[in-house]
Chain A
Amino acid sequence: MIREAALFLVVLFAATTSWAAEPDGGVPTKAPAPDTTLERYRTPLEALTERPIGEASRAVRFDWRRSRIGFGVLGSSVVELNNFSSARIGGYVRKALGSFMLEGAVSYVHTWGSFATQQLSLTPYRQFARPSRLEVDVNLSYALAEGVVTPRVSFIPPAELVFSVTAGVRYLYYFGSLTGVPAIEVLGALFNPAISDREADNLEGQRLPGMQIARTRYSVLTGFQLDLYLRPGIAVTPRVLLGLPVFSGVPGSGLTFWWELSLGVGAAL
């Protein structure tokens, strides 16, 4: 009510100011050229009034910023744009840091071939891909927009919707790749962005027919995600990530851009 009254007074004052500026006698004179110098700095009144309203209406249904910790399971489809298929399943843990959300996740990725890769294995050609593996992610999200949404069906309670931009780093561990590798090289394998020849040799048995193993150990991803928070703290998170060719300089990296579509379900406490 107070807001509406204030808005009315602002509009009335602007109209009065405009009327008072008319020259006496009402005789029209030649209008001066409009000054647009300040045009780019002007903001519509509606925007000025809606912005504080949006700020004030935040976290009406669930205040995710105040959650101590979140956890859940996630599943993904990895679209590496080759003839191999990969699916991920794993779990995540989250912690809100102001408008940021820090997330750690561990996933198992299963890779399988196709008829095309079977046919490819009959030829002297191979296609870059990654064998089945374990992945460790560290992601950071920043909330771009959020608000309360009202479901169309009545049995779903009103929810808090957060739209975020996400970026993260992913470490890939291949089972058996470090068998017989000296301890000092195992330590190096944690930091070396490329898989060593020794590791690649160990992975030869796990390589699917037609597959040329991509030698990168790390991936950098970015994308967008939606977090739908339902009271008392259920979180549903669809996400789309784009793998960036940050480590494409590694010899034998093979893959450049690739996609990942994932869905996470969990709780925020």
Chain B
Amino acid sequence: MRARVLSRSLLLGLWALGAACTKVPFVDINAAFTIADVSWFDDERTMFVFYQVDAEQGLGPDSLIELRYRTDDVFVDWTPLEQLPAVHTHLPADCGPRSKCGSWSLAVDKVPREVALRLRYHRSGVLSLNADVAFNAIGPGPAHLVRSLAVYGVFDETNTRVQWRARHQFPTIRNEQATALGLRRQFTISDVGHGQLGPIPSDNLYGYAVAPVCPAGFTPLPWEPRRTTDRAFFEPLALPLAASDSDVLCAAATVTDALGELTVAAIARKNPQTKPAFPLLRSPIRDADPVGWVLRPCNRVINDAHLAMQVQRLQLEGAPTLCTDDFTSTDFVTRLTGELKARIDRLRTPGRDLVLVFAVHRDDTTGRLNRAIESVLEQVLVPERDKSTPRVVGAFLFDSLSWRLTSPTLKPLVLWCPSVRVTMADLDLVQASSEQDCPLQPDAPPLNLGPFSFTQLPILPTRPQYENFVMKYSDANTGRVTKLWFRAPERSAGAENLLVGEAGVVTRLNTEVVAAAEADAFSFCAPADEAGTASVGRIVAQPINPLGAIEPVSTLPRRHQESPSTLYALGLIWESPFLVKMEFETRVAGAATALGITVPFGIAGNGERFLGEEQWRQETFPLADALTQCTRWCDHPTFDSAGVYQPAAPFRLAFAQQCYRPRFPVPTGGGFPDDP
């Protein structure tokens, strides 16, 4: 045993001793070219070299990049790039400690062949790593397509300060990448003038070299020629007022190459001139006075407790009663209409709208009574609908039984509760997902826990619901309304209502119109927040010259693009003319059933509910951020929200259904703007 332990320890010791005497091995730095791009431009007789080598541990300053190429005239064997005469400026590029990168340019008269690039690990060593070179030879052609540098101008937000920019154009290297690899190009701007320019060829996105020289009709500006090796500079002087309506600046842009200099015209197009199409719609919301009645049979009793509940719910204590015993008679409608109108005229107060409130205590299931009530309401409400404040905005009815309005005219004027869709008498059987015109379903679905069951009576129940509930959970748990409050939009004398669909109404509040020229363009931007989206979603637009259909304001940009109109009327769409706010004490009713005995109990709480049109909780409907109108230079390119100039995306096409949140260049932004 001891010998075995000893021998194992000895073996372990020998292994450790052997391992402890093992030399540290050499490791490969795994260098590899990630960029080895060479481009030759025939019109410039210049060859550009871009390279980047990455390695695990980094490459020292003694590492070299060497080039070899052959043309019909010359053969240049492996030569360090720095030893070849450069055509342009190349700054040392910093690609991090594990990389070596940079660029070079050299004069090459004829198209090169056998272009090769390699990394020599050390200037004193002989080991090297060859690159797979991506070589491009760009032949002769239009300057904006075949030259390695294009010049263009952009404007700041005020359209008065111009920034002239140069842009590298290489087949495999992006503009900012060329800058990062150390390439700096000199360009000069001179002879700047302003004026109008005709259409620019669609393949010339930046308008570079759109003409050899600027058109003769341009008004010259007294600006000094400026030269830079940055990629951009701001002209220090602002445009004069005389240039306000000029859509373009044109300048002589001079760039250098192996042959010398090239001067062509470069242009700066003004940014699209935009403004909010309409700031906001404002509809003052005022408290409306309720005018209440109790409609019930006077010669018999249906259910006093239920009637008391209805009266309490609608706060109609002391309200006059309208007897419905003779609802089948021919003059029932006439009599009721007369009584209503007489009282309305007595109560009409300047500046305050009225809402008719009815407790309908009935047991008629034929619908004749309700249809008679609808006839009365039509005669009262329809004439009031288009009046200016003070007026009767609508009616709110709390019925004994569910009922759905049959008169289409009344649908946008009357809130009749409870809805017909809640038909099940026993609330325990009402599904939580039941659809209702009035939100009458229990706040929580019934919950059964063994012998206990819990539910809650809606604040506006049907009589069967009420009676079943009381039988099981007692009258004490039915809850009570503590405050009933009506609000309605103040209606101006010039307001106009337009019916939309079955129950919708569009109101043009106060002659809100958007004037637009045929050449104008719009941009719609949906608000980011839910409330904003709902608010803007209530705004509609209707072309009125020529007259067109009412559509959501979000479609206005597309519609104006397809069939322009000079005027658009704005309005608000709504389905209920008023908002009801109910504050109430509610009780979660429980019942414990054991041995055939049911004991009800309740848990009190407070609640609040809005019925009707919730949009009347706000007075203003902002539109400024959602709908932008371009009134000039709408076909010019512009900037996106990242501050990148998008020459292929003019406002009219690109931003009809996109948010227009441009970030324009600023004079303090430096000489290397975002321009990928």
Check B16 against A257 for contact (C-beta < 8 Å). Answer: yes
Check if A256 sits within 8 Å of B19, measured CB to CB.
yes
Is B23 part of the contact surface with A, judged by Cβ < 8 Å? yes
Mask: chain B, 89-106; 1 = CB below 8 Å from A; 0 = not = 000000011100000000
Known contacts being A121-B60, A204-B58, is A126 close to B29, with CB within 8 Å?
yes
Report the bound CA distance from A259 to B57 in whole Å.
25
In this complex, the interface size class of chain B, counting residues with CB under 8 Å from chain A, is 20 to 34
- Which one of B122-130, B584-592, B626-634 contacts A? B122-130
A124 vs B100: C-alpha distance when bound (angstroms): 14
Expressed in whole angstroms, the Cα–Cα distance for A254 and B25 within the complex equals: 9
Would B19 and A123 count as touching, CB distance under 8 A?
Answer: no
Kindly list chain A residues whose C-beta atoms are within 8 Å of the C-beta of B96: 201
- Give a binary string over B108-146; 1 marks a CB under 8 Å from any A CB, 0 the rest: 000000000000011011110100000000000000000
A256–B62 alpha-carbon span in the complex (Å): 30
Tell me how far the C-beta of B395 lies from the nearest C-beta in chain A, rounded to whole angstroms: 66
Closest residue of B by beta carbon distance from A209: B60
* Identity of the chain A residue whose Cβ is nearest the Cβ of B119 in the assembled complex: A124
Q: Does A178 lie at the interface of the complex (its beta carbon under 8 Å from any beta carbon of B)?
A: no
Interface digits, B55-66 against A, CB 8 Å rule (1 contact, 0 not)? 011101010000
Residues from 197 to 224 in A contacting B, C-beta threshold 8 Å? 200-201, 204, 207, 209, 212-213
| Residue in B57, B62, B121, B126 whose Cβ sees the most chain A Cβ within 10 Å | B57
Contact partners of B129 in chain A: CB under 8 A: 124
Residues of B within 8 A of A80 (CB): 24
Shortest C-beta distance, B131 to chain A (Å), equals 14
Question: Mostly helix, strand, loop or mixed at chain B's interface?
Answer: loop
| Neighbouring B residues of A82 by C-beta, 8 Å | 23-24
**Interface membership of chain A positions 239-256, coded 1 if the CB is closer than 8 angstroms to chain B and 0 otherwise:** 000100000000000111
For residue B406, CB closer than 8 A to chain A, the reply is: no
B443 to chain A, nearest CB (A): 48
Shortest distance in angstroms between B92's beta carbon and chain A's nearest beta carbon? 15
Closest to A204 in B: B97
Choose from A121, A127, A201, A242 the contact partner of B25 (Cβ within 8 Å).
Answer: A127
CB contacts (< 8 Å) of B31 on chain A: these are 124
CA distance A256 to B122 in the complex (A): 29
Residue in chain A with minimal CB distance to B23: A81
Q: Are A127 and B97 in contact (CB under 8 A)?
A: no
**B19 near A125: Cβ-Cβ < 8 Å:** no
Contact A124-B24, Cβ < 8 Å, known A204-B58, A204-B97, A256-B19: no
Q: Is A20 an interface residue (CB 8 A)?
A: no
- Taking a contact as CB atoms closer than 8 A, the residue among A124, A204, A257 that contacts B127 in the complex is A124
A212 lies within 8 A of B29 (CB): yes
Q: Answer whether residue A109 sits at the interface, using C-beta atoms and an 8 A cutoff.
A: no
Are A128 and B27 in contact (CB-based, < 8 A)?
Answer: yes
Q: CB-CB < 8 A to B26: which residues of A?
A: 120, 125-127
A259's contact among B20, B60, B62, by CB below 8 Å, is which?
B20
Is A123 a contact partner of B125 (Cβ separation < 8 A)?
A: yes
Against B, the Cβ 8 Å flags (1 = close, 0 = not) of A109-153 are 000000000001111111111000000000000000000000000
B365: interface (CB < 8 Å) = no
Judge whether B29 and A201 touch: CB under 8 Å. no
Min C-beta distance of A42 to chain B, whole Å: 14
Decide yes or no whether B22 CB sits under 8 A from chain A. Answer: yes
Within 8 A of B (CB), among A69-128: 80-82, 120-128
The listed residue (B20, B24, B97, B121) touching A123 by CB distance below 8 A is B121
What separation, in Å, do the CA atoms of A257 and B22 have in the docked complex? 8
**B20 pairs with A201, CB closer than 8 A:** no
Per a CB cutoff under 8 Å, which of B19, B57, B125 touches A257?
B19
- Decide if B642 is an interface residue (CB 8 Å cutoff): no
Q: A201-B96, A204-B58, A213-B57 are in contact. Are A125 and B29 (CB under 8 A)?
A: yes
Interchain CA distance A81-B21 in the complex, whole Å: 7
A250-269 residues with Cβ-Cβ distance < 8 A to B are: 254-259
Residues of chain A within 8 A of B562, CB atoms compared:
none
Q: Which of A122, A128, A257, A258 contacts B124 (CB 8 A)?
A: A122
* Shortest beta-carbon distance from B55 to chain A in Å: 8
Q: In the bound complex, do residue A129 and residue B29 qualify as a contact, i.e. CB atoms below 8 Å apart?
A: no
By the criterion CB–CB under 8 Å, are B125 and A127 in contact? no
CA–CA, A133 and B28, complex, Å? 25
A127 to B98, CA, bound (A): 16
- Across the interface, name the chain A residue whose C-beta is closest to B26: A125
Across the interface, which residues of A come within 8 angstroms of B97, CB to CB? Answer: 200-201, 204
The interface bits of chain B over 302-324 (1 if a CB of A lies within 8 angstroms of the residue's CB, else 0) are 00000000000000000000000
Is the CB–CB distance between B57 and A126 below 8 Å?
A: yes
What residue in chain A is nearest B31 (Cβ atoms)?
A124
Specify which chain B residues have a CB less than 8 angstroms from the CB of A201 in the assembled complex.
96-98
Within the complex, what minimum Cβ distance (angstroms) separates B670 from chain A?
A: 22
Which B10-57 residues sit within 8 Å CB-CB of chain A? 16, 19-29, 31, 56-57
Asked whether B121 lies within 8 Å of A124 as measured between CB atoms, the reply is yes
* Cα distance, A201 to B23, chains bound together (Å): 26
Cross-chain contact B29 with A255 (CB below 8 angstroms)? no
If A81-B21, A256-B24 are given as contacts, then 4 extra A-B residue pairs at C-beta distance below 8 Å, sorted by A number, are: A123-B127, A125-B28, A129-B24, A204-B98
Where the two chains meet, the residues of A that have a C-beta atom closer than 8 Å to any C-beta of B are: 80-82, 120-129, 200-201, 204, 207, 209, 212-213, 242, 254-259
Q: Which 3 A-B pairs have the closest CB atoms?
A: A122-B125, A204-B97, A257-B20
Q: Which residues of B contact A (CB under 8 A)?
A: 16, 19-29, 31, 56-58, 60, 62, 96-98, 121-122, 124-127, 129
Pairs across A and B, CB under 8 Å, 28 listed: A81-B22, A81-B23, A82-B24, A120-B26, A121-B60, A121-B62, A122-B121, A123-B121, A123-B122, A124-B129, A125-B29, A126-B27, A126-B29, A127-B24, A127-B26, A128-B24, A200-B97, A201-B97, A204-B97, A213-B57, A242-B16, A254-B24, A254-B27, A255-B24, A256-B22, A257-B19, A257-B22, A258-B20
